[in-house]
Chain A
Amino acid sequence: MSDHTHDSGEEHIGHVLPLSLLVKVFGGLVLLTALTVFTGTMNLHGWDLPVAMVIATSKASLVCLFFMHLKYDKPFNGMIFLLSVLFVGLFLAFVGYDAGQYQDDIKAYTIEHIGGE
């Protein structure tokens, strides 16, 4: 880090989060859990999954930014994590596209050989 420190034990590493912030983040996560259980019992007319995913992503963001220190960390670490999310998206997109190509054949085969829809 510093060229002037001879005793590397003196240098400051890491970022200490205030306890009050950790408590607030935990409280927020529990509230969001309660919210997702509540919305899960309602019929949102096809919006159930998007709403549940928005809440889950908010919870995940809280965990990443504060518990996992990404907000105070070197941006490169956050970039690695976002890259993983991007690759999952690519994975989903390719498999979804591929499955869409042969799904009708599977359904036809199922009806013919196993029966039913």
Chain B
Amino acid sequence: MSTTANDHGHDPNRPKHLAHHFETLGQQFDSGKLGIWVFLLTEVLFFSALFVAYTMYRSNYPEVFQYASQFLDTKMGAINTVVLLLSSFTFAWAVRNAMLGEKRKLMLNLLVTLVCAGGFMGIKYVEYSHKFHDGTLWGGNASTIFKADPAEIPAEIKEVSEAWNNPEGKFSVAVRDLDPAFRQKVGVFFGVYFCLTGLHGIHVMLGMILIIWLMMRTKRGDFGPTNFNAIDFGALYWHLVDLIWIFLFPLLYLIT
């Protein structure tokens, strides 16, 4: 190693953004990246507990998941998937901008990523409020009423539930009339749904705060070809949030 690198704070060539405990920018970058990957490992394991819960309930009660999944709006889920993929794309582009020192494009791509994240949460809000309105919630309490198109209700469900036609011509099933054991399990599906999408949503909101922070630093002129670590690491976190949604979407919305 060069002797100048040990000359803390006195080397005129030493970049300001190179922390004193690192020899080179490359070493600083690699260390940070290793740290982020270890953090992402803990994130995967954090989410895995809920994925395991999902797997256990689905493998034991496939008919409950098939029944309850129809209350999720596939179109909304698909739109949200594309919105999140777009935000991942613009963040990956932002990393490229930062590496090339394109400050204006970097700012713009971070802004698009932020708008996409906001759009994702907006759609999530519409979905959640719809579920609160319909009472498709966790726990399967007696006041919950599940509505569905008659054609979409599996025959075995029709057998265990009381049904009548409401003015909209929709087939309604009062959960209090469902078989009690079945009712409890339908509540479990929505429990798993709200836990998984809720934890994911919290990650999206944290990501939005992160992006705002990165935009403020971009405005200050912090980033350039040798100093883009925060952008790169923030993008890695954001891509992981996207990765989790890539699995959540088919697992929750596309059960046939």
Interface residues of A (CB under 8 A from B): 1, 3-9, 11, 13-14, 16-17, 19, 22-23, 25-26, 29-30, 33, 36-37, 40-44, 48, 52-53, 55-56, 59-60, 63-64, 66-69, 73-74, 76-77, 80-81, 83-85, 87-88, 91-92, 95-96, 99, 103, 110-111, 114-117
Contact = CB atoms under 8 A, between A and B. Distances in A.
A8 B56 contact: no
A8 B81 contact: no
Contacts of B14: 8
B41 A33 contact: no
Interface residues of B, number: 70
B37 A99 contact: no
Contact of A80 (B38, B247, B251): B38
B55 A88 contact: no
Nearest to A107: B60
Interface in B1-29: 1-2, 4-5, 13-15, 18, 23-27, 29
Contacts of A91: 45, 48-49, 52
Interface stretch (B85-93, B123-131, B163-171, B195-203): B85-93
Given A17-B92, A40-B254, A8 B34 contact: no
Nearest to B33: A77
B51 interface: yes
A63 B242 contact: yes
Contacts of B5: 8
B25 to A, nearest CB: 5
Interface in B222-256: 226, 228, 232, 235-236, 239-240, 242-243, 246-247, 249-251, 253-256
> B4, B25, B27, B236 — which one has the most chain A CB atoms within 10 A of its CB?
B25
In terms of DSSP, what is the predominant structure of the interface of chain A? helix
A14 B256 contact: no
Given A1-B26, A26-B86, A33-B78, A88 B48 contact: yes
The 5 closest A-B pairs by CB, nearest first: A40-B254, A52-B250, A116-B179, A116-B181, A84-B44
Contacts of B93: 19, 22
Given A9-B13, A91-B48, A33 B256 contact: no
Contact of B37 (A16, A77, A92): A77
B92 A66 contact: yes
B181 to A, nearest CB: 4
Nearest to B51: A88
Interface string B61-77: 00000000000001000
B250 A36 contact: yes
A111 B180 CA distance: 10
Contacts of B176: none
Contacts of B239: 63-64, 67-68
Interface string B88-118: 1101110110011000000000000000000
B41 A114 contact: no
Given A17-B92, A22-B89, A56 B246 contact: yes
